[in-house]
Amino acid sequence: MDCPYCGYPDSKVIDSRDVNEGIRRRRQCLSCGARFTTYERMQPASLFVVKKDGRREEFSRDKLLIGIRRACEKRPLPTGTVDKVVDDIEAELYHLGKPEIPSAVIGDMVMERLKSLDYIAYIRFASVYRDFADITALKREIDTLVSDETKISHPTSQLPLLPDEELGKVAKVRKRSRK
């Protein structure tokens, strides 16, 4: 690693520590004495995704990120949520230790996570990924979500399909129009 300040090719390590499955090294240039940090990370073995039609494609973190980001667009999720979901899935995929993963497995992992985060993002992702044959199939999925919602109170992180205040507004309007 060349010194980023003077370009000298040699440096000494003055500190190193493990961070997030990698090593962080604090280095000092042997020529100008400047200090800089390098990160060393294991290069994971390449992972292939097997698509529905049998084609193989190298796993792309970016593609996964784009798909999830699209589903979460304009949803009130905390900053970094999408990246966290992608990180989790990526880690889980490499952890499986298989050279090939069916795209359906990845899709299910995404759906499972989105379902616990935000129903709208989940339905958006599902409608693309599951390719709902018709509106009835989509409605069935939404009905399942709604009945889940009434069975167990939704987790604190989950946004309701219709916020209570909006339901209140609707009720008020109805009352008023009846007079």
Interface residues with Zn ion (CB under 5 A) are 3, 5-6, 8, 29, 31-32, 34
Say whether 105 sits in a helix, a strand or coil: helix
Cβ distance to Zn ion smaller for residue 6 or 96: 6
Helix intervals (H) in 22-118: 61-72, 81-96, 103-117
Cβ distance to Zn ion smaller for residue 35 or 52: 35
Cβ distance to Zn ion smaller for residue 26 or 69: 26
Q: What is the rounded distance in angstroms from the CA atom of residue 172 to the CA atom of residue 96?
A: 53
Asked if 119 and 143 touch (Cβ cutoff 8 Å), the reply is no
Cβ distance to Zn ion smaller for residue 23 or 34: 34
- Show the tokens assigned to 144: 């399942």
In the complex, minimum distance from the CB of residue 2 to Zn ion, in angstroms, rounded to a whole number? 8
Q: What is the rounded distance in angstroms from the CA atom of residue 17 to the CA atom of residue 30?
A: 21
In the complex, minimum distance from the CB of residue 26 to Zn ion, in angstroms, rounded to a whole number? 14
In the complex, minimum distance from the CB of residue 35 to Zn ion, in angstroms, rounded to a whole number? 10
In the complex, minimum distance from the CB of residue 28 to Zn ion, in angstroms, rounded to a whole number? 9
